[in-house]
Amino acid sequence: MRNADGTIDFASSNFNGTFDEEAIYEGTKNHERVSQILGYDGSEITARTDYTYSGRRLTKTSSYDVDGLTEAAKRAKGAGSLLTDGEQFFRGAAGREKVSYGTGYSDIDPGIRG
């Protein structure tokens, strides 16, 4: 069951089990593709992965921590803190993409020497 803004109405929904993720699709009928994956902790969105395409080809996924943002901001592409294993880049023809490389981030200052 959904609210008028498209969010899940947890109070009126009848779930059996644990609700962990929601996939958001974009595109026309029979040409849908994943736009975002929302990660939940209970009824709260805590993480989001955005999918980026060039034409029909998947080129990148970016994963974000969205704790502390408004409900609308949690769903906004590019909003939040990029996770440490935040980005994956893809190569290959549409429908046959494979991860080419990923990026990782940390809060370690490379200027500090022991």
- Mean pLDDT, residues 56-77 taken together: 95
Calculate the alpha carbon distances from 97 to 15, 20, 88, 90, 108 in Å.
34, 26, 11, 6, 32
Q: Are 64 and 47 in contact (CB under 8 A)?
A: yes
Strand order in the sheet with 98-103: 21-26, 33-41, 44-54, 57-65, 81-91, 98-103
Start-end of H helices in the chain: 71-74
> What is the value of pTM for the model shown?
0.80
Question: Which of 5-14, 51-60, 63-72, 78-87 has the lowest average pLDDT?
Answer: 5-14
- Mean pLDDT, residues 63-90 taken together: 93
Domain boundaries, the chain: 21-103
Q: What is the mean pLDDT of the chain?
A: 87
- Mean pLDDT, residues 9-17 taken together: 73
